[in-house]
Amino acid sequence: MRAIVCRAYGPPEELVLDDVPEPVPGPGQLLVRVRAAAVNFPDVLFIAGKYQVRIPPPFIPGNEVAGEVLAAGPGLKSAAFSPGQRISGTTFGAFAEQALLEADQAMLIPDDADFGSAAAFGVTYRTAYHALRSTAQVAEGQWVVVLGAAGGVGLATVDLAVAMKARVLAAASSPEKLELCRRRGAAATVDYDREDLKSRIRELTGDSARVVIDPVGGSYSEPALRGLARGGTFVTLGYATGTIPAIPLNLVLLKDVTIRGMEIRTFMGDYPDEATRDVAELAQMFTAGQVRPYIGARFPLAETPAALRHVAERRVLGKVVIDVP
């Protein structure tokens, strides 16, 4: 089968499309004919050897997959997953014509959802929902400030906060990105490269912003924290700008705010009950058609390096999907 292979740590352009052996499902696993895979910013870090967990090359990158069941591994009842069933889930090795998926991580794709939407719904929407539901405990009517609001995690956060009936202030870096956020339901927007983020948060929310969700870091974090209302919650999710901010602790003292971190890789182990509840609620929202990802760009498998470059340079609106014919 064909797959995108990382032979050595480096930039996306050094990935190669190669013929590799077909994977064989082990106990509890499903062999999936990949139809679509979604790209996330951590994929860029994985291939560069800069993620928190390093995977020795060579390896096939990609974490979100949607496709059709080809076969089930030992220990799975044949009736549980039938060949041809449309499923999605998170795995490793998604940028290929076939991939393995743990059966307990698989979700049936609703009839009205395409493979691209199903692949794009996994990591970013789980990250956003855990951050909103469990970490920040967002309530109906509260103002939620979303940084990097037109990116993968950011736009998922906008979508879910709107679905939770919160009021969203979307912060992004261009009129095009802000217009997309408004179309997705944001009640207010701020261009944080051209406007004063702290003062605009206070003005637009009436000094009542209860939550900041920050997947970007860099120079945006501190002014967003300063814009929070007293007693608010700031959730750090990642550092897409490439810079980890240093926050003056006196702000926490003076404003009585809470700063929390949420990492999707460890959330299930740290908070198993909340994670199980969140995943079930999120699956119900997707099945009911309440939320669907916005796909801003699509690439064929052979152009996966270009897709990763698109994400690395923060040019993406919503999600980027790899289509595998």
Q: For the beta carbon of residue 95, count every other beta carbon within 10 angstroms.
A: 27
Task: Set out the domains of the chain in order of their start, with CATH numbers.
Answer: 2-123+283-323 (3.90.180.10), 136-261 (3.40.50.720)
Q: Pairing between strand 64-72 and 29-39?
A: antiparallel
Could you identify the residue written with the tokens 């969700």? 213
- Residue 63 identity: N
Tens-place pLDDT, residues 168-213: 999 999 999 999 999 999 999 999 999 999 999 999 999 999 999 9
Measured CA to CA, the distance from residue 193 to residue 187 in angstroms comes to 19
Structure tokens at 116: 């691209």
Measured CA to CA, the distance from residue 316 to residue 57 in angstroms comes to 27
Tens-place pLDDT, residues 83-110: 899 999 999 999 999 999 998 888 899 9
Full-model pTM:
0.89
Q: What is the pLDDT of residue 314?
A: 81
- Quote the DSSP letter at residue 268: H
Q: Find all residues with CB under 8 Å of 80, minimum gap 6, and list them.
A: 72, 103
Residues facing residue 298 across a β-bridge: 321
Give the sign of the dihedral formed by CA 78, CA 79, CA 84, CA 87.
negative
Contact between 76 and 12 under an 8 Å Cβ cutoff? The reply is no
Q: What is the pLDDT of residue 219?
A: 95
Could you identify the residue written with the tokens 């929310």? 205
